Amino acid sequence: MAAPLKRHVALVGFMGAGKTTAARSLGLPVRETDADVPIELFAESEAAFRAREAEVVEAVLGEAPAILDLGGGAVTTPRVGELLREHATVVWLDADADTCWERVRGSDRPLAQDEAEFRRLYADRRPVYERAADVVARDVHDVALAAAGIHVEPGALQRLGELVPGVGTVELVSDPNVAGIHGMDAQLALGERVRAMHELPAGEEAKTLVALDRLWQALRLDRGGTLVALGGGCTTDAAGFAASAYLRGIDWVPVPTSLVAQVDAAIGGKTGVDLPQGKNLVGAFHWPAATIVDANVLQTLPEQQRREGMAEVVKTGLLAGEPLWELPDGELVRRCAAFKAAICLRDPHDHDERKQLNLGHTFAHALEAAAQYRDVTHGQAVALGLQAALRLSGRDTSAVDELLKPRPVHVDRERAWEAMRRDKKNVDGELRLVLLDDDGPRWDVPVPEADVRAALDALIAG
Ligand SMILES: NC(=O)c1ccc[n+]([C@@H]2O[C@H](COP(=O)([O-])OP(=O)(O)OC[C@H]3O[C@@H](n4cnc5c(N)ncnc54)[C@H](O)[C@@H]3O)[C@@H](O)[C@H]2O)c1
């Protein structure tokens, strides 16, 4: 299985930019290089301090990938710059001079004693950070995205050629709808690197072994090639799985175009296809080489598909404890993708906290199964499932009611209940759900059968 943090993520930036807070907030292994370089050395000789700092950075880069919290001046040493270029993704946490000064004034940092001197140094350092940076981050959310290899930028589709990592050949896969609208832009942006364009059927039909068999037989990539998946969650799920198995695994880059895919499906490395027996029954964890998210492409998304995505946005906002659904598209996508990315980086294989992303989904799957995946869309089912999960958590459902307007569905009650009891998260016949407490989500919570049954019944009409 591919490990998500494949490279070190080196946080650089001026003192007071918030590197340490950002590094720690991700909940990933952090190495604070300053801790191993005695500050007293600086007073004796800056050159000796920088030399020691470079040794520490070199040693740390030889260890398992981590978030590296580097001293503000580390990248001024050419050797450190070279080492980082080779072994790390360098993320510049860019904060303005006023913010930095407010945070460090009055501290014992040797370079933060005099404000004028501090501001002069700030101005000198900016170009150094700019040159060293692979990614510029404004806040902790950008840092999470960078650590996960996710690039969120309006207009990114036009820059695919620069943003798809590597120099090898690319083959593009899309569905007929998306290819017709955005395929040409993607091909133009990829330029000479793109050798072929493939189509998967639109919708869930892409996620079949028949469709994948056709795709596998058409691919000509060698092991250095990259499969770029341009489309909604069906395209990215299917193409990601195709990449995970083709030549025993090649690089892939999702370029999600639906709201569902930008905030959910293309984030976190889960890929897969359906079997007649059920959805997503064959798949793999295959973390992308990069994920490129351009919220501008949502302008062509049909309204019905947007509503599908809003159900996942509301779920994410409830889990994050913030009304992320109120944000404009670009920011909404950035925040939702960052929230999921951080969780998936900490728990890539769904053993623990990643389970919270199933909030409302056990009910949703039961309703969809009872409707035999007709008549009830996933988004409608998730909206109802969120209602049930919130009611069982003793919480207000008004955000879900107002934004998603769920209506009880006409499905067979017994069939829905049977599907609920078969859910793979149940243990020894006991139902386990994700609930939302005042201080956040809890998962694997055993809930009495009668309560679950009553909550499910309330979602069913007639
Ligand atoms: N891997 C995961 O972690 C994960 C998470 C959530 C959902 N999923 C999967 O995602 C799938 C659903 O994704 P989806 O809702 O994106 O479905 P989809 O890929 O079928 O896209 C929905 C429709 O919108 C069209 N479309 C997409 N982008 C467009 C655009 N910019 N302009 C115009 N039309 C556009 C598509 O052609 C399609 O007809 C499901 O199969 C689900 O299982 C996976």
**What pLDDT score was predicted for residue 2?**
42
Q: Is 301 in the pocket of ligand 1 (CB under 6 A)?
A: yes
CA-closest residue to ligand 1 atom 9: 233
Class of domain 150-313+324-335: alpha beta
pLDDT means per 10 residues, the chain with 462 residues, are: 76 96 94 90 91 96 96 94 96 97 91 94 97 96 97 98 95 98 98 97 97 98 98 98 98 98 98 91 96 98 97 98 97 98 96 97 95 92 98 97 97 95 78 94 95 97 88
d(CA 97, CA 117): 12
Beta-carbon count within 10 A of 115 CB: 11
Q: Is 264 in the pocket of ligand 1 (CB under 6 A)?
A: yes
For domain 359-457, give its CATH number from 3.40.190.80, 1.10.150.130, 1.10.10.10, 1.20.1090.10.
1.20.1090.10
Q: Is 205 in the pocket of ligand 1 (CB under 6 A)?
A: no
CATH number, span 8-147: 3.40.50.300
Residues of the chain with CATH 3.40.50.1970: 150-313+324-335
CA-closest residue to ligand 1 atom 18: 232
The residues near 383 (Cβ < 8 Å, ≥ 6 apart) are 311, 314, 360, 400, 404, 405, 406
Helices (H), 347-446: 361-370, 378-392, 398-404, 413-421
One-character DSSP codes across 9-23 = EEEE--TTSSHHHHH
Q: Is 300 in the pocket of ligand 1 (CB under 6 A)?
A: yes
**What pLDDT score was predicted for residue 422?**
84
CA 356 to mean position of chain CA atoms: 15
Residues of the chain with CATH 1.20.1090.10: 359-457
CA of 231 to the centre of ligand 1 (A): 7
Residues of the chain with CATH 3.40.50.300: 8-147
d(CA 355, CA 362): 11
CA of 65 to the centre of ligand 1 (A): 32
Q: Is 255 in the pocket of ligand 1 (CB under 6 A)?
A: no
**What pLDDT score was predicted for residue 289?**
97
* Helix or strand (DSSP H, E) at 225: none
CA-closest residue to ligand 1 atom 37: 177
**What pLDDT score was predicted for residue 3?**
55
Q: Structure pTM?
A: 0.96
CA of 186 to the centre of ligand 1 (A): 18
